[in-house]
Amino acid sequence: MTLTDTRSSSDTPPAAAGSLSPTALERAIGTGEHEAIGRTFIMGSLLLMALSAGALAAGALRSLSNGGPLDVTDNLWNSALVGMVLMGAIPLLLGLAICLVPLQVGSKAIAFPRAAALSLWTWLVSAVIFAISLGLDGGVGGADLEASRLGMLSMGSMMVALSLGAVCVATTVLSHRPVGMSLARVPLFSWSMLVAAPIWILTFGSTTAHVFLGQISQANAAGLALRYEAGVAWFLRAPSVYMLAIPILGISCDLVAQGCGRRIARYGTVQALIAMFGVFSFGAWTQTSGGRENILWIAFVALAAVPVLGLLGLIADTLRHRKPVVSPGLVGVLLAFLLLLGGMLAGILEALNTTGSGTLFSFEAVGLGWAQSLFLLSAAFIGGLAALSAWSRVVLRASAPGAIASAAIAAGLIGGGLLATVFLIQGLTGFGLSLSFYNVWVAVAAAVLALSALLGLMLALVTSRGHARQPATAGAAGLTLEWAQDELSPEDQALVMRTIVASPYPLLDFRFTGEAVEEDK
Amino acid sequence: MSDTATLSPPEVDSPPESPQAAVAPTPALPPTMPRRRELIFGTVFVTAGVAMGLLTLIGSYLAARDAAGAAWLADNQLALTQPNMQMLTLAMSVVTMQWAVWSICRDDRYHTYLALGVTMLLGIAFVNQSTFLFKEAGIAITQPEGPLFYAVTLGHLAMVIAGLVFLLLMAFRTLGGQYSSRQPDGIGAAAVFWYAGVALYAVIWFAVYIQK
């Protein structure tokens, strides 16, 4: 950590003109600016999400061409899912957090900027290596031993890199807050990241240990596949997979408050509910044999729905009091919430099935388990896209074109929703996955999800190049500090940054106290 | 620290939520005021991840030993002398590490250097004892117990070596005048990591060596 205790490049004076000035590539690689790091994370994750979803579609088509059932133990299927989580959803949310969280807490830089940059480049290089290993019949559970070792190693590297990024974000929330911003007044996206970061770090710490074990053991390719299934795959299933959605809760509340121009009521309760969801998403203990078939697992999965429903009520209450300014971001995050509820429903059904196994219910636990994972994964991805669209003026420095944002979110909803629904139906009805219909369904859904990621990438590229610059939407003024740079004059920004924070919505406070600001001027 | 020159001042007690309070400008602080606790928070998160990894390895070791029964390490001799001495060495290092924290908080630089030096010496002794233990035990990586045994013990040894590097770096920074009673974070952060390493060794000592 200590190597990072230097000034970020944002604080350094520009280099003298001449041969010593860094090139664009050197600037891109060497930057410690959190916004640049976050943007690269976002764009890389969208591209790799498209690749992963494409691999999933290819896996389903391969099963179809072989005339066999949809094989959820296939290495292409498992690697694509790992890719969608570690190369798509989590880096997308982490990139948004690296970009936004310092601004939300009124800081000009992230904690340990060089560690954040290290996190980005380690993740990116590892993700590329993972994709190459998959191409060599490796990835996770592949038939080629060396390629599988490479795949497992790069997966572990991605986990370590993402954990490092999470450390930077959580430390920023804890130690970079301005005067008056106690933890009870931290904006909700930052709060949700503070809850998510330790869960990600602990979960990835545990899975990385199994990757390490796999590397030093003398296992063959089949042994490595077993190591993955026994020691790593649990993080893709409930309750661990809920950790993907923790930031979505914060994003939802922030975007609804902003859309309505109104404070979220019972702020402390909202924070407590997000923290509660975080607690119930800690699932490292389920890696033991029988870990998914006991009362504790049932309690975790069932109780995780309580904070989600509570937050839904508080969001509905806010929307009831004032009609929101409708934007693709707001609609997208509400749809992500819908998918999250789908995941919770699948979880409760599986918990009921486990409770009354053989007597009351006879659902297919495997199908319900996959349905949960895919609902949660889709919710995280669509929530990330919605957040990117809603915060585009902060993250990408221009307004995102509404048409592309809407198309990306809609495609994500259709793709992710269809992908999860096929397993929900399979879990409820017990139909085997041998029907070729399922292969076609999954291939189409995964292809639409890949299209959604590509549209998201297009959104980021087009917006960041400034081709879609538009005036701010009337009535959708920001409430929290990340909007200060976009909406206030430099003098007012300086004043806001020197002001004691008195509520979770400092910019709203600032607008309500305009007279005092005039006096100061 | 990373961005100490430009950012807002450290946290104070929050004012009441009133419009007046919302616009009361705070006095400008010196631009070089460091951020308190940043390094400690970062170290706590990293330590939690490392500890989780090691605990997972220990759990896997115990599960495998439980499954193997009496055949586990039947061909090897794991004498308790070395593990006991290692535990004692690390236990002593906790005292000297806390001595360093106590000293830097009182601007007693002489004792800080002395305490850091003794802690590092004890850490190096632990590394030395570990290598001796590995030779004595003679566990081959190719035997069934080998990967798990070395994953646990070498994983922890790597943590201790990382702690030594951390301590060395903090000692140099203290020599350079970066840490004092106003800003003792570096020593505190190194202490957090070191204590976690000792606590984890206590678990390994009991689970791997005492219970065998």
Comparing CB atoms, the residue among A197, A216, A517 nearest residue B45 is A197
pLDDT at A476: 57
Spatial neighbors of A337 by CB under 8 A, at least 6 apart, are: A248, A252, A312, A315, A379, A383
Which positions in chain B touch A7 (Cβ < 8 Å)? 2-5
CA distance B141 to B147: 6
pLDDT at A514: 53
CA distance B134 to A294: 39
Q: What is the pLDDT confidence band of residue A293, given thresholds at 50, 70 and 90?
A: confident
Which of A357-361, B5-9, B206-210 shows the lowest mean pLDDT across its residues? B5-9
Question: Is residue B192, in this structure, part of any structural domain at all?
Answer: yes
For residue B108, the SS3 value is coil
> pLDDT tens digits for A119-158?
999 999 999 999 999 999 888 888 899 999 999 999 999 9
For residue A361, the SS3 value is strand
Q: Mark yes or no for CB contact A216/B141 under 8 Å.
A: yes
Percent of chain A with pLDDT over 70: 91
pLDDT at A487 over 50: yes
CA distance B105 to A281: 39
| A357 strand-pairing partners | A361
Are A286 and A292 within 8 A, CB to CB?
A: yes
- When pLDDT is averaged across residues A80-87 and rounded to a whole number, the result is 94
> pLDDT tens digits for A298-349?
888 889 999 999 999 999 999 988 888 889 999 999 999 999 999 999 988 8
Q: Tokens 């070089």, residue? A: B32
Question: Is residue B195, in this structure, part of any structural domain at all?
Answer: yes
Nearest CA distance, A31 vs chain B (angstrom): 13
Is B33 or A162 the better-scoring residue by pLDDT? Answer: A162
Are B63 and B117 within 8 A, CB to CB?
A: no
pLDDT at B4 over 50: no
Spatial neighbors of B100 by CB under 8 A, at least 6 apart, are: B111, B112, B115, B116, B119, B187, B191
pLDDT at A19: 60
Which positions in chain A touch B8 (Cβ < 8 Å)? 106-107, 176-179, 497
Residue B91 belongs to domain spanning? 36-210
Are A239 and A276 within 8 A, CB to CB?
A: no
Which positions in chain B touch A180 (Cβ < 8 Å)? 12, 14-15, 21
CA distance A212 to A222: 16
Q: Mark yes or no for CB contact B3/A502 under 8 Å.
A: no
Nearest to A288 by CA among B167, B101, B66: B66
Comparing CB atoms, the residue among A202, A500, A517 nearest residue B49 is A202
- When pLDDT is averaged across residues A475-493 and rounded to a whole number, the result is 79
> Residue A440 is encoded by which pair of tokens?
């076609």
A-B contacts at Cβ under 8 angstroms: 197
Which of A191-195, A364-368, A429-433, A479-483 shows the lowest mean pLDDT across its residues? A429-433
Nearest CA distance, A474 vs chain B (angstrom): 25
Comparing CB atoms, the residue among B21, B45, B151 nearest residue A170 is B45
Domain ranges within chain A, ordered by starting residue: 28-509
Architecture in CATH for domain A28-509: Up-down Bundle (1.20)
* Residues A436-443: contacts with CB under 8 Å, at least 24 apart: A436/A64, A436/A67, A438/A69, A438/A70, A439/A60, A439/A61, A439/A63, A439/A64, A439/A70, A440/A60, A440/A64, A442/A56, A442/A57, A442/A60, A442/A70, A443/A57, A443/A60, A443/A61, A443/A64
Which of A199-213, A279-293, B81-95 shows the lowest mean pLDDT across its residues? A279-293
CA distance A123 to A118: 8
CATH number at residue B141: 1.20.120.80
E strand spans, A200-313 = none
Comparing CB atoms, the residue among A8, A180, A288 nearest residue B3 is A8
Which of A233-247, A475-489, B130-144 shows the lowest mean pLDDT across its residues? A475-489
Q: Tokens 């937050």, residue? A: A311
Backbone φ and ψ of A171, nearest 5°: -65, -35
> pLDDT tens digits for A55-66?
999 888 888 887
- Closest chain A residue by Cα to residue B40: A171
Sequence letter at residue A262: R
What is the ipTM for the molecules in this complex? 0.90
Sequence letter at residue B179: Y
Q: What is the pLDDT confidence band of residue A383, given thresholds at 50, 70 and 90?
A: very high
Mutate: best of B4, B20, B23, partner A, most A CBs <10 A: B23
Question: Is residue B12, in this structure, part of any structural domain at all?
Answer: no
Question: DSSP letter at A376?
Answer: H
Are A358 and A293 within 8 A, CB to CB?
A: no
Are A217 and A225 within 8 A, CB to CB?
A: no
- When pLDDT is averaged across residues B58-72 and rounded to a whole number, the result is 90
DSSP letter string, A301-351: HHHTHHHHHHHHHHHHHHHHHS-----HHHHHHHHHHHHHHHHHHHHHHHH
> Residue A341 is encoded by which pair of tokens?
């509820």
- Closest chain A residue by Cα to residue B24: A499
Comparing CB atoms, the residue among B2, B9, B150 nearest residue A179 is B9
> pLDDT tens digits for B161-201?
999 999 999 999 999 988 888 889 999 999 999 999 999 99
Burial of residue A327 (CB within 10 Å: 0-12, 13-18, 19+) is: buried
Are B172 and B23 within 8 A, CB to CB?
A: no
Are A111 and A266 within 8 A, CB to CB?
A: no
Residue B93, CB-side half-sphere exposure with 13 Å CA sphere: 33
> pLDDT tens digits for A25-77?
888 788 888 999 999 999 999 999 999 999 999 888 888 887 777 777 778 88
- Closest chain A residue by Cα to residue B19: A513
Nearest to A333 by CA among A348, A318, A351, A350: A318
Nearest to A90 by CA among A202, A183, A194, A166: A166
Is B23 or A104 the better-scoring residue by pLDDT? Answer: A104
CA distance A172 to A114: 13
pLDDT at B35: 64
Q: Mark yes or no for CB contact A208/B53 under 8 Å.
A: yes
Q: What angle do CA A468, A469, A475 make, to 5 degrees?
A: 115
Q: Mark yes or no for CB contact B150/A216 under 8 Å.
A: yes
Q: Mark yes or no for CB contact B25/A503 under 8 Å.
A: no
Question: Is residue B121, in this structure, part of any structural domain at all?
Answer: yes
Mutate: best of B4, B8, B179, partner A, most A CBs <10 A: B8
Comparing CB atoms, the residue among A111, A163, A498 nearest residue B49 is A163
Number of domains in chain B: 1
Spatial neighbors of B69 by CB under 8 A, at least 6 apart, are: none
The sign one gets for the Cα dihedral B175, B180, B184, B188 is positive
Q: Tokens 């770096």, residue? A: B169
Question: Is residue B23, in this structure, part of any structural domain at all?
Answer: no
Q: Mark yes or no for CB contact B57/A209 under 8 Å.
A: yes
Q: What is the pLDDT confidence band of residue A472, given thresholds at 50, 70 and 90?
A: low
Which positions in chain A touch B41 (Cβ < 8 Å)? 111, 170-171, 174-175
Comparing CB atoms, the residue among B5, B10, B169 nearest residue A11 is B5
For chain A, the distance separating the N- and C-terminal CA atoms, rounded to the nearest angstrom, is 42
Backbone φ and ψ of A453, nearest 5°: -65, -40
> pLDDT tens digits for B124-169?
999 999 999 999 888 888 888 889 999 999 999 999 999 999 999 9
Question: Is residue B24, in this structure, part of any structural domain at all?
Answer: no
Nearest CA distance, A44 vs chain B (angstrom): 25
Are A431 and A461 within 8 A, CB to CB?
A: no
Q: What is the pLDDT confidence band of residue A233, given thresholds at 50, 70 and 90?
A: confident
For residue A281, the SS3 value is coil
> pLDDT tens digits for A356-381?
766 677 788 888 888 999 999 999 99
Q: What is the pLDDT confidence band of residue A459, given thresholds at 50, 70 and 90?
A: very high
Are A404 and A464 within 8 A, CB to CB?
A: no
